Chains A and B, each alone.
Chain A
Amino acid sequence: MLRFLIRRTVSAALILLVVSAVTYLLFFALPSDPALLACGKQCTPQLLATIRHNMGIDAPVPVQYWHFLVGVFSGRSFGAASCPAPCLGYSFVNGQPVLQTLLNRFPATASVALGAAVLVLTLGVGAGMIAALRRGKAADKVAMGLALIGASMQIYFFGIVVRYIFVDQLAWLPLPGYTSPGASLSGWAGGMLLPWITLAVVNVATYARFTRSSMLESLSEEYVRAVRAKGLGPWGVYVKHAWRGAMTPVVTMFGIDLGLFLGGALITETTFNIPGIGKLAVDSVADSDLPMMMGTVLAASTAMVLVNIAVDACYAVIDPRVRAL
């Protein structure tokens, strides 16, 4: 187990290195000059050079990337301002430190992600199980029909329709938004309700369909037939044996989705105006705020990589066949 974790961590670090290098080289090789924008109308060549130096963009791009890496591990300085150890630089637009902004935005993103993940997993897997057990019956057809409609639904359309009907017209749901759970737990849950429901409806479908087909596949396996022949009751067959075998691919998919959610659900956060990492990413793209953009890409890929390691570790718990490896 330890060797497995070490190997995965090393490969994760390599992937992050490649992702950050590609991102940096692509974005910072831009022909547009952020220093010129920051310099304003009364710009002199000396002032421009100073600003460029303070932004840390006066070296060739590969050297800049090296400085960026050094900054992440041992800190760096931008002109007079010094930036301690895990340094991701400062925003070109408002001068805020990138790391601090990301940390401030993370709770909103995590709230959306975790709530939606719980809903998606329970509803999706539950519906898929029921559909598999009642294969070909009415419950199966209804569940799969709904799942298909959900899978064809778009967050930015469905979310606003639900908001219009249930918030604006009927006033059954509170306005979507983010309040810190520390300040008001009910305000937090209320504001998150709409994003959770929307993300869940759109994603549940995939899980239901996937669980159903995976479950059907594992129900036809030899080992399930064996435990059936041994006289185990239906509950034991479905839940203890078939379900465990069926969950491995579902967990893989869940890992990818959770990683994506934690990296900032761009469309959901934009639709409901939630100040998370996804909204930050969209805004920083609109402002050409390169360090911030870089920060959000790094945050998102880190989330992805970390969740995937966690998921791989979970296999051992779910599927006893993996443990032998």
Chain B
Amino acid sequence: MTSLLADPPVPEAADPTAPPQGRSPAKLAWRRFRRDRVGVASAAVVGLFFLVGLGAPVISWLYGKDPYTTYGQNQPGLLDDFGYPTGPMGGISGRFWLGVEPGLGRDVLMQLVYGIRTSLLISLAVVALVTLIGVLVGVVAGYAGGLVDYAVGRVIDVILCFPATLFFVAFIPVAQAAFVKPTQEVPTWLRAGTVVVVLTAFGWASTARLVRGQVLSLREREFVQSARVIGVSPARIVFRELLPNLWTPILISASLAVPAYVTTEAALSFLGAGMVEPTPDWGRMIQRGAQVYSADFSYMLFPGLAMLIFVLAFNLLGDSVRDALDPRSNR
């Protein structure tokens, strides 16, 4: 918790003679956020997930296991004759804290821990790209107006009309086949790369639409009009006048997009279009768990719960970020 509150609380009214200090909007937002207990708690949970993902090799070293070794097949007694774990709750024991995977007998905890990396790397990459492209296109369309705006608007309409999940599932194998011969195995980085590219190709449209709308209304405001009248260059108007006013909606939409892409990535892996064996991935684990759930429910339960907690915390955090940045929004 302390790491989140690294900023020491400002001693207020310590010196009554000191002139009142102006507070920047960022400072005000930070103060509002700090008072939001749910927001701070969910930030702690999200931070913990990030730490675990970053420190996965350290955890692996301390815990003494990795996500790839098939412990259950190497050591007799962990799995029964049908390949299901022998211990309680999917083989939980002092050695295997969350049990072992049915069939292959890998360690569940290590797969979960490394799965965070897969989910977060892919979703953060998508959010970064989507935000960048969306803001760029949105600002250009909104500011240029006219024919450019019309063309961009129609492209966005078409993209939002595509049945997205279906298209992801259908197009990811196609995109991979463009780089790899059918007889070869697709390398993991290419798999992750195509997922990122395909998700981005469809994701930017909603960000662009949001930004475009904001720019349209900002463009007519006095400060932009007057900047234009005194001959400020368009680039300067965009960067100095428009962008500072766009940070709030951009930040809010990005913070709500991260959990959305974590679940989309997992859904793709669940449908068999995302990450595959042996890459540790929550969606892939749930897919396997869904096949064996009636015999070993806990192998399905742990990745599902991990994702539920992460997504819930991130959604709560997103709400708090919105409240802090935009106190007028009533939700």
Which of A's residues lie within 8 Å of B, judged by CB? 15, 18-19, 23, 26-27, 30-32, 148-149, 151-154, 156-157, 160-161, 164, 168, 209, 212-213, 216-217, 260, 263-264, 266-267, 270-271, 278, 281-282, 285-286, 288, 293, 296-297, 300-301, 304-305, 308
Cβ of A263 and Cβ of B166 under 8 Å apart? yes
- Contact present for A26 and B163 (CB under 8 Å): no
List residues of B (278-321) whose CB comes within 8 Å of A's CBs: 286-287, 289-290, 293-294, 297, 300-301, 304, 307-308, 311-312, 315-316, 319
Q: Does B266 contact A (CB under 8 A)?
A: yes
Is B86 on the interface with A (CB-CB < 8 A)? no
Chain B residue, CB-CB nearest to A37: B182
Q: Which of A217, A301, A305 has the most CB of B within 10 A?
A: A301
The listed residue (A164, A213, A297) touching B297 by CB distance below 8 A is A164
Query: Closest approach, in angstroms, between the C-beta of A143 and any C-beta of chain B?
Result: 13
Q: Does B13 belong to the interface (CB within 8 Å)?
A: no
Shortest Cβ distance from residue B163 to the other chain A in the assembled complex, whole angstroms: 4
Judged by a CB distance under 8 angstroms, whether B271 is at the interface is: yes
Measured between alpha carbons, how far is A164 from B270 in the docked complex, in Å? 18
Indicate if the CB atoms of A285 and B273 lie closer than 8 Å: yes
Residue of A nearest to B164 (CB): A260
Please tell me if B188 contacts chain A, counting CB pairs below 8 Å.
Answer: no
User: Once the chains are docked, how many angstroms separate the CA of A151 from the CA of B319?
Assistant: 13
Q: Which residue of A lies closest to B169 (CB)?
A: A285
Contact of A15 (CB < 8 Å), options: B158, B259, B289, B308: B158
Q: Does B214 make an interface contact (CB < 8 A)?
A: no
- In the complex, chain B residues whose CB is within 8 Å of the CB of A148: 312, 315-316, 319
| Chain A minimum-CB-distance residue to B303 | A157
Stretch at the interface among B119-127, B172-180, B220-228, B238-246: B172-180
On whether the beta carbons of A305 and B300 are closer than 8 Å, the reply is no
**Chain B residues, Cβ within 8 Å of A168:** 294
Q: Which residues of B contact A217 (CB under 8 A)?
A: 330
- Closest chain A residue to B163, Cβ basis: A300
Report which of A27, A30, A282 forms a contact with B272, defined as CB distance below 8 A: A282
A264 nearest CB neighbor, chain B only: B166
Tell me, in angstroms, the Cα distance from A196 to B300 when the chains sit together.
21
Q: Are A19 and B162 in contact (CB under 8 A)?
A: yes
Asked whether, in the complex, the Cβ of B263 is within 8 Å of the Cβ of A18, the reply is no
Given contacts A31-B177, A300-B163, contact A152 B259 (CB under 8 A): yes
Q: How far is the CA of A112 from the CA of B170 in the complex (A)?
A: 22
Q: Establish whether residues A282 and B286, one from each chain, have CB atoms under 8 Å apart when the complex forms.
A: no
Residues of B within 8 A of A296 (CB): 166, 170
List of B residues within 8 angstroms of A27 by Cβ: 170-171, 174
B102 to chain A, nearest CB (A): 15
User: Which residues of A lie under 8 Å from residue B267 when comparing CB positions?
Assistant: 154, 156, 267
> 4 additional contacts, CB 8 Å, given A152-B311, A212-B331?
A26-B174, A31-B177, A156-B267, A301-B162
Instruction: Tell me whether A285 and B170 are in contact (CB under 8 A).
Output: yes
Report whether B300 and A154 are in contact in the complex, using a CB–CB cutoff of 8 Å. Answer: no
On chain A, the residues within 8 Å of B300 by CB distance are 157, 160-161, 164
Residues of B144-180 contacting chain A, CB below 8 A: 157-158, 161-163, 165-167, 169-171, 173-174, 177-178
CB atoms of A297 and B166 under 8 A apart: yes
Q: Say yes or no: A288 contacts B171, CB within 8 Å.
A: no
Listed by A's residue number, 23 A-B pairs whose Cβ atoms lie within 8 Å are A30-B174, A31-B178, A31-B181, A32-B182, A148-B315, A149-B312, A153-B308, A156-B267, A156-B286, A156-B287, A157-B304, A160-B300, A161-B301, A213-B331, A264-B166, A266-B169, A267-B271, A270-B270, A270-B271, A282-B169, A282-B272, A286-B272, A297-B163
- A residues less than 8 Å from B273 (CB atoms): 285
In whole angstroms, how far apart are the Cα atoms of A285 and B315 in the complex? 32
